[in-house]
Amino acid sequence: MEKIGFVVLTWNSERVIERCLNSICALKLFTPLIFIVDNGSSDSTATILQYYERSYDCIDVTYFGKNMGTTISRNIALKKCLKFHADFICILDSDTVVNDEALLSMKTRLLLPNVGIVGPVMEDENGVVQNSGRKVPTMMIKLFKVLPIKALKKKGESLELYIYEKVGCRPVGYLMSACWLFKKSLLDNVGLLDEKIFYAPEDVDFCLCCWEQGNGVYKDYDAKIIHSWQRISRKKLFSRHNVEHIKGLLYLFRKHHFFFSASKYEEKVAQYRTFV
pLDDT (tens digit per residue) in 196-214: 999 889 999 999 999 999 9
Which of 264, 260, 263 lies closest to 140, judged by CA?
260
Using alpha carbons, select from 246, 162, 256 the residue that is nearest to residue 209.
256
Position 245 confidence tier, pLDDT thresholds 50, 70, 90: confident
Predicted local confidence at residue 239, as pLDDT? 63
* Other Cβ atoms within 10 Å of 260 Cβ, number: 11
pLDDT of residue 233: 47
pLDDT digits (tens, 9 = 90+) for 134-153: 999 999 998 888 778 889 88
Q: Which tens digits make up the pLDDT trace of 256-271?
A: 999 889 999 999 999 9
Over range 75-92, report the average pLDDT.
97
pLDDT in the model for residue 200: 87
| Cα–Cα distance for residue pair 42/102, rounded to 1 Å | 33
* Average pLDDT in the chain: 94
Confidence band for 215, pLDDT divided at 50, 70 and 90? very high
Residue ranges and CATH numbers for the domains of the chain are 3-271 (3.90.550.10)
For 165, phi then psi, to 5°, come to: -70, 125
Residue 231 has pLDDT above 70, yes or no: no
Helix (H) or strand (E) holding 219: strand 216-227
